[in-house]
């Protein structure tokens, strides 16, 4: 079984787009929240996440582009 860190592709929590961890990290498109690293497709999604991270953990939240 693969661990989450071993998976090169993850979903952007804001828009739901598939993101490559290495590419996002190299571009500075990551953010830490409560000890976990999140990866983003672009700066807009990263900024939206940083503005209100808890919003993206609401069970009723649906990723949008």
- Is residue 65 in a domain? no
The Cα 59–Cα 44 span in angstroms is 22
Is-contact 30 37, C-beta < 8 A?
Answer: yes
- Is residue 46 in a domain? yes
Q: Looking at the predicted structure, is the pLDDT value of residue 43 above 80?
A: yes
- Is residue 38 in a domain? yes
Q: Which domain holds residue 24?
A: 16-57
Looking at residue 56, its pLDDT comes to: 92
pTM over 0.85: no
Structure-block tokens of residue 5: 């860190």
- Is residue 2 in a domain? no
- Is residue 10 in a domain? no
The residue that leads in pLDDT, 40 or 7, is 40
Looking at residue 1, its pLDDT comes to: 45
Q: How many domains does the chain have?
A: 1
Q: Looking at the predicted structure, is the pLDDT value of residue 9 above 50?
A: yes
Q: 9 pairs with which residues across the strands?
A: 20
- Is residue 7 in a domain? no
pLDDT tens digits along 10-27: 999 999 999 999 999 999
């Amino acid at each position: 079984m693969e661990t989450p860190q071993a998976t090169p592709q993850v979903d952007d929590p804001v828009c739901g787009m598939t993101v490559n961890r290495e590419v996002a990290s190299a571009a500075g498109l990551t953010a830490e929240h409560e000890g976990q690293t999140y990866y983003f497709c672009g700066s807009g999604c990263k900024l939206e996440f940083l503005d209100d991270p808890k919003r993206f953990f609401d069970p009723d939240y649906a990723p949008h582009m």
